[in-house]
């Protein structure tokens, strides 16, 4: 709040803060503070597998997501997005929990829980043993889950997971995402987001699409 917000304020763009905690009280306390800040929205991170005390527990069930989202909704007037974990058997259950608790949107997918082993040392590569898998390899999982959630919820979906090109973003949008975001892609090439926007524009020109909303959820299943 002291350092990052003033830095980000110099740019002409929306600021959405990703918020993570270990208990419901953490989330509520954080939301109260965030509500007072000059930001454009809050993304509730109920699903980060890189955090030890794990907010994972809240994110996996309809009830868990509904409970924490409801509590936060009571104290937060700003747009509220709930970020969902893919580490579940049915992604639509937590998505419905967020919608029923009054979330303005859901974002998916967070990272997939992974593990990688150094075969020479016979130890996991990560200090925490397991960690979040992201990047291009997770895109098919994300696209599938966005499609599944789009069939069940009415609130907007922010699609993410492995987007590095405009084509990747289009896939997510055809599956039902009204917005997309880029995480890992920025680590490879810092201007990935600009390239993604250019790629979306090129696709629209190629197919003579006037309004990008035309392609949201426009996939025709086989």
Partner 1 sequence: MKVNCKAEIVKIEKLKEDLYKFSIQAEEIVSCAKPGQFIDVRVVDGIEPLLRRPISIYNLDKENGILEFIFQVKGKGTSLLAQRKVGEKLDIIGPLGYGTFSIKDYKNVAIIGGGIGMFPLYELAKELKEKTTSNVHIYMGFRNKDLVTLEEEFKNVSDELTITTDDGSYGISGFAINELKKDCEKEVPDKIFACGPLPMLKAVQAFAAQNNIPCEISLEEKMACGLGVCLGCAVKTAKSPSDAPEYWHVCKAGPVFNATDVEI
- Kindly state whether residue 217 participates in binding partner 1, applying the rule CB under 8 A: no
Could you tell me the smallest distance in angstroms from the CB atom of residue 191 to partner 1? 7
Could you tell me the smallest distance in angstroms from the CB atom of residue 135 to partner 1? 5
Number of residues that bind partner 1 (CB under 8 A): 9
Q: Is 20 a catalytic residue?
A: no
- Kindly state whether residue 135 participates in binding partner 1, applying the rule CB under 8 A: yes
- Kindly state whether residue 130 participates in binding partner 1, applying the rule CB under 8 A: no
- Kindly state whether residue 188 participates in binding partner 1, applying the rule CB under 8 A: yes
Candidate list 25, 40, 191, 198; residue touching partner 1; CB under 8 A? 191
- Kindly state whether residue 189 participates in binding partner 1, applying the rule CB under 8 A: yes
Candidate list 100, 136, 141, 155; residue touching partner 1; CB under 8 A? 136
Element at 77 (helix H, strand E): none
- Kindly state whether residue 186 participates in binding partner 1, applying the rule CB under 8 A: yes
When the beta carbons of 14 and 137 are compared against partner 1, the nearer one is 137
Q: Which residues are catalytic?
A: 48
Residues lying near partner 1 in the complex (CB under 8 A) are found at 135-136, 184, 186-191
């Amino acid at each position: 709040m002291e350092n990052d917000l003033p830095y980000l304020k110099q740019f002409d763009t929306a600021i959405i803060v990703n918020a993570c905690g270990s208990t419901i009280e953490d989330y509520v306390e954080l939301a109260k503070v965030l509500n007072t800040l000059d930001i454009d929205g809050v993304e509730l991170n109920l699903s980060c597998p890189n955090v030890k005390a794990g907010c994972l527990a809240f994110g996996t069930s309809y009830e868990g997501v509904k409970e924490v989202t409801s509590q936060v909704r009571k104290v937060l007037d700003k747009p509220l997005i709930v970020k969902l974990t893919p580490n579940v058997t049915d992604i639509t259950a937590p998505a419905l929990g967020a919608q029923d608790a009054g979330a303005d949107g859901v974002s998916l997918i967070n990272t997939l829980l992974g593990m990688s082993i150094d075969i020479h040392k016979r130890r996991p590569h990560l200090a925490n043993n397991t960690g979040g898998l992201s990047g291009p390899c997770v895109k098919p999982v994300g696209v599938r889950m966005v499609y599944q959630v789009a069939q069940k919820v009415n609130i907007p979906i922010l699609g993410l997971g492995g987007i590095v090109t405009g084509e990747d973003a289009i896939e997510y949008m055809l599956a039902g995402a009204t917005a997309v975001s880029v995480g890992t892609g920025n680590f490879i090439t810092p201007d990935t987001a600009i390239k993604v926007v250019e790629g979306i524009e090129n696709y629209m020109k190629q197919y003579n699409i006037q309004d990008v909303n035309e392609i949201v959820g426009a996939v025709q299943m086989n």
